[in-house]
Every structure is written in C-alpha cells, then in structure tokens.
Amino acid sequence: MNENNLVSVVICTRNRAAQLEKALLSWCNVDRERLKEIIVVDNGSEDETLEVVENISKNTTIIIRYLYQGVVGVSAARNKGLVSASGEIISFSDDDCYPSTDFISEVVKVFEENPTVGFVGGRVLLFDPTDLPITLQTSEKIIKFPLNKFFRAGLIHGANFSIKSSQVKNRFLFDERFGPGSYLISAEDTDFINRLLWNCVPGIFHPGPVVYHHHGRKTADVAKKLHNSYSIGRGAYYMKCFLNSKTRSACIEHFYSELRRDFDKKRILEIWGAIKFLRVSSTEQNEWKINAI
C-alpha cells in the first residue's frame, strides 16, 4: 500500500440532511493523513442534502465528493460509491454514524497487519445512551471468517465495513434487491460478505475501527418494526443461498440449526422473506445488476 491517500469513505443518504451534516462534521475530525476522500452518495433526496455537502466542503481541506444516484435503495447508492471510489481501501458508513478520531489509521492498520484479507468489519457502538441498544456490534474479539462457510447475519454491519479495492472492486456489487429502500428491506451487507467468502476473499471482524451509531430509536414499537425487517431480509438471504448449488448445503445446515433452537415469529418472517425473494427474482428487470456466486 502507498503511504498516503489510502482510504475512500462512502456515505449514502436520502432526505436526512440534518443527520448527514452531523456525520460529515464528525468525519472532518478524523485523522486525515491517509484519508483520500469522502464520497457522499445522494440517493434521490428532496431536501437540503446538496447544500449541506457544499457548505461543509467549503470549510475543510478534506476532499468531499457529491454523487447522485436516482435509483432508490442503499445497495444502488453503495454501488455508485463503490465504482467511483479511488482509494486502495473503501470504507462504508451511514449518515447517522460518527467515527472515532483514529478510525482511518485503525482501518489501515488492520489491513496492513492482515495483508491477505479483502474486507474488515469494525465495532458499532451506541452514541446516545437514551437510544435503544440495538443495531450495534460491540464485540472486542477478533473474528476470522473461514472461506466457503455460511456467513451469519449481524457479525459485520454496513455502518462499519471496509474493503480492499484490489480484491473486491470490479468483481462484486451489492445486490440491489436487498437493503433499505429496496423490496427486501435489509441483509444487503450480509449477502455481499457471503459472496466474498465464497469467492476466496477472506475477511475479519476487528474491534479497532469504531463508529458511534446515532440512530434515534427509543420505543419498543420502532425496534420491533426494525427487527421484523431484519428477519424478512435474513429469510431472503437464506433463499438466495439455497437456490445456489454452491451454498445450498451450508444454508440448509444453518437454517435447520436455527429451527431446532426455536420456532417463533422471526422464523415465520424469514419464511415470508424467502417467498418475497422468489417473487422479486422472478422478474428480469434487475438481473444485469446482480453478481452470482
């Protein structure tokens, strides 16, 4: 890796100018010696998103690039950022997350200490203690993910996910059927990582890189709705794995173990998600965008 300008940060956003402004201001405080650029992908906003990006860009020496992706869905937005980023490392985060000041150096350090890995996930901690402790990854243990094994949802979050461009870019895209704003709501990051692992791209979770999630969810009803969407996306992910001969056996083994552990509402929602995946996959309009394993 070159000594400088290693990392491109990609932040996708839609109609959340106030949250984005706080996030961008926090990114302006990171260690920037090895930061190449911040790319903001506007996923069809109708608010002041562009103005926020322009105003902050004028008051920092960090390169902040604004891209517009009119196809709604976080996967489409991430793909726009992925193909446009020029850094040797591409780090994805969200518009309601704030990085630790040493985030960039920690990401670079993990890749340098693990030269064979193609992706790294880091911790996602709670920013506001009055928010519910959900959508977090707080583990302080390093987890190495074996190749050609089923990847379990929730181990790495898209809010703190970095890839090595040389191993991933021009080979993989996010499946635009998955993720917020799409038909299948969630699991875009899990599906993407699973495809990396089944195509000989190793990766790890490392507690070094940290972002703080300012998600603002405070009620049980909101949390329940979110977890239901995760179950639907997870079921769609299971079905995609089941339909592929390469991953079918591992998927069946995992889902069977989950069924033996419990059968409750989330399993029913997973089955519904599997059915939704079959429905959306019966159309051909998005086939050109999808990477097969």
Extract the tokens encoding 162.
């970095």
The whole-number pLDDT of residue 292 equals 47
Give the integer Cα–Cα distance in Å for 72 and 84: 18
**What are the structural domains, with CATH classification, of the chain?**
7-213 (3.90.550.10), 220-289 (no CATH)
5: left (phi > 0), else alpha (psi -120 to 50), else beta?
left
Maximum pairwise Cα distance, the chain = 56
Q: Which residue has better confidence, 82 or 290? A: 82
197 touches 238 (CB < 8 A): no
Closest by Cα among 235, 204, 183 to 75: 183
User: Please, which residues bridge with residue 13 across strands?
Assistant: 42
Distance, in Å, from the CA atom of 186 to the CA atom of 235, rounded to the nearest integer, reads 10
- Report the distance separating Cα 152 and Cα 113, nearest Å: 25
> pLDDT at position 4, please?
61
Packing angle between helix 220-243 and helix 248-261, nearest 10 degrees?
140
Apex CA 54: angle with CA 106 and CA 168, to 5°? Answer: 40
Of 5 and 37, the structure prediction assigns the larger pLDDT to: 37
> Per-residue pLDDT tens for 212-264?
999 999 999 999 999 999 999 999 999 999 999 999 999 999 999 988 888 88
Please write the tens of the pLDDT for every residue from 125-140: 999 999 999 999 999 9
Answer whether 104's CB lies under 8 Å from 211's CB: no
Does the structure show a pLDDT above 70 at 280? yes
Nearby residues of 85 by Cβ (< 8 Å), 6 or more positions away: 8, 10, 37, 39, 165, 169
pLDDT in tens, 27-58: 999 999 999 999 999 999 999 999 999 999 99
Lookup: tokens for 15: 């109609």
pLDDT for residue 107: 98
Cα end-to-end distance, the chain, whole Å: 28
Q: What's the confidence (pLDDT) of residue 293?
A: 52
Summarize pLDDT for 101-134 with one digit per residue, the tens: 999 999 999 999 999 999 999 999 999 999 999 9
Q: How far apart are CA 77 and CA 253, in angstroms?
A: 33
How sure is the predictor about 5, in pLDDT bands with cuts at 50, 70 and 90? low
Provide the pLDDT for residue 36. Answer: 97
Q: What residues does 40 pair with on adjacent strands?
A: 11, 66
For the chain, how big is the Rg over CA atoms in Å?
A: 18
